[in-house]
Amino acid sequence: MMQLLSTLEVIPETIHFVISLDAASGPFNNDAKVRWGIIGLGDVCTVKAGPAFYKAYNSTLTAVMRRTPGMAQSWIDDNIKANKFPNSVAKSIRAYESVEEMLTDVQPDALYVATPPGAHLEVIRKIVAAPSASTLKAVYIEKPCGRCAWETRALIYDTTKHKVLSSIVSLAHERTQMIRELLQSQMIGDRVTKVQYTQRGTSFARGLNDNIVAPRELVFRRLNAQQSGGGLIMDMGCHILSRIDYLFGPIVGVKDYVSMEATIGECTWAVIPSLDAKVECLWDFSPAKESNGKSDVDELIIEGTHGSLKMYGMGAGLPVTIFDSGDNIVQTLEFDPPEHAAQPLIQSVVDELLVHNGGIGCPATAENTK
């Protein structure tokens, strides 16, 4: 991780970062690999995460599973035909139609559950009930883990014998890790006083933005509470809420959920003193159009005792701007997004499972998930 200078006067106005966590940790000096299996092969897996399992250092993809007969094998064949797999994966990867068969036959080190959230608890219970589940080191679950707090807690309770990790990919992005460094180095003061997030429009959600296309079934799942638990506030909002928890501590005393008012509670993991800091979040996913007088907004502001950080809430490659106490721009930090959104987080999972001290440690733990 690149270190920031601590004296504001000597920092250039704009710095562009090209270092990313998926390349920073580097491979081990031995042949140890985490062998992954994937359950669910929809758009989220194929675009965001799937390739990262065989592109991350010391990681490989050994098996995939989908309940619909023939679909898992078809997914493998399509990837081989498109020349996406390295030879080692193309020669060995296997397709399955049941969780039990995959676990018994392949005995992977870790599983990625990429089914729609409405099926997560059912899938997890099949995993832990399988006789060969004892060989699993970790279960990595697509966000949101559950459709409600009860379902998420039940899921974590059922997997107490396994390391549970949630796919809040933004926590491992270089941008989030740099924000940690800014806060730890007291760039905006010695404590955080307020965190404010404003979201209007689609918040870069694929399929709901004219410039981003997504399969119809993905759009349907995101807007179907039975599948997603609550539409886009669950699908996209969990990134922001988890990032606030990860950096500052738990959100407590919530008074509302659409125009949310709360505070930061006590914890042991905050990167800067934040207890009792105000939290204000506004969620408005209705389309922004000239006819209704709305414009897209996606802004996260972190206020400290001597300055603030302002940035887009979503977007791994979008800038972070540092302001002084007079709201003057001090510095703008720019970043290159990872090739695959989930790759930095998956790399951190692999590093943690193989006890690689050079890694950041996986930030998306079960404690943060709850």
Question: What pLDDT, in 10s, does the model give residues 114-131?
Answer: 998 889 999 999 998 888
Kindly report the length of the chain. 370
How many CA atoms lie within 13 Å of 363's alpha carbon, on the beta-carbon side?
Answer: 25
The reply to whether 236 falls in a domain is yes
User: For position 78, what pLDDT does the model report?
Assistant: 93
Chain Cα centroid distance, residue 160: 21
pLDDT greater than 70 at residue 22: no
User: For position 79, what pLDDT does the model report?
Assistant: 92
DSSP secondary structure string for all residues of 146-205: SSSHHHHHHHHHHTTTSEEEEE-GGGGSHHHHHHHHHHHTTTT-SSEEEEEEEEES-TT-
Residues 6 or more apart in contact with residue 214 via CB below 8 angstroms: 43, 205, 206, 207, 208
**187 and 306 housed in the same domain:** yes
pLDDT greater than 80 at residue 221: no
What DSSP element (H or E) covers 22?
helix 21-24
CB atoms < 10 A from the CB of 337, how many?
15
pLDDT tier at 233, thresholds 50, 70, 90:
confident
The reply to whether 280 falls in a domain is yes
**139 and 225 housed in the same domain:** no
User: For position 226, what pLDDT does the model report?
Assistant: 74
Q: What is the pLDDT of residues 36-45, one digit of tens each?
A: 999 999 877 8
The CATH code of the domain that includes 303 is: 3.30.360.10
∠ at Cα 138 (345, 134), nearest 5°? 170
The reply to whether 217 falls in a domain is yes
**231 and 274 housed in the same domain:** yes
User: For position 29, what pLDDT does the model report?
Assistant: 53
The Cα–Cα gap between 86 and 60 comes to 10
pLDDT tier at 5, thresholds 50, 70, 90:
very low
Q: Which residue has the higher pLDDT, 362 or 11?
A: 362
**178 and 310 housed in the same domain:** yes
The reply to whether 77 falls in a domain is yes
**212 and 318 housed in the same domain:** yes
Do 250 and 169 touch, CB atoms closer than 8 A? no
pLDDT greater than 60 at residue 15: no
Angle between helix 237-248 and 174-184 (nearest 10): 30
The reply to whether 216 falls in a domain is yes
Q: What is the pLDDT of residues 238-264, one digit of tens each?
A: 889 999 999 999 999 998 877 899 999
Do 247 and 183 touch, CB atoms closer than 8 A? yes
Tell me how far apart the 2 most distant CA atoms of the chain are, in Å.
63
Residue 91, both tokens:
């020669």
The reply to whether 2 falls in a domain is no
User: For position 77, what pLDDT does the model report?
Assistant: 95
pLDDT greater than 70 at residue 13: no
User: For position 43, what pLDDT does the model report?
Assistant: 76
Chain Cα centroid distance, residue 260: 22
Number of domains in the chain: 2
pLDDT greater than 90 at residue 160: no
**159 and 227 housed in the same domain:** no
Do 250 and 267 touch, CB atoms closer than 8 A? yes
User: For position 20, what pLDDT does the model report?
Assistant: 33
The reply to whether 1 falls in a domain is no
pLDDT greater than 80 at residue 229: no
The residue among 189, 173, 184, 188 whose CA lies nearest residue 322 is: 188
pLDDT tier at 196, thresholds 50, 70, 90:
very high
User: For position 207, what pLDDT does the model report?
Assistant: 60
**65 and 147 housed in the same domain:** yes
The CATH code of the domain that includes 352 is: 3.40.50.720
**187 and 299 housed in the same domain:** yes
Name the residue range of residue 146's domain: 31-168+343-369
pLDDT tier at 144, thresholds 50, 70, 90:
confident
User: For position 214, what pLDDT does the model report?
Assistant: 59
**43 and 124 housed in the same domain:** yes
Q: How far is CA 347 from CA 25, 54, 276, 342, 353, in A?
A: 8, 10, 34, 9, 10
The reply to whether 26 falls in a domain is no
pLDDT greater than 50 at residue 91: yes
Percent of the chain with pLDDT over 70: 81
**185 and 246 housed in the same domain:** yes
The Cα–Cα gap between 307 and 328 comes to 9
**248 and 348 housed in the same domain:** no
Question: Can you tell me the mean pLDDT for 293-321?
Answer: 92
pLDDT greater than 70 at residue 10: no
* Residue whose tokens read 């004296």: 7
**104 and 151 housed in the same domain:** yes
* Residue whose tokens read 């996406």: 84
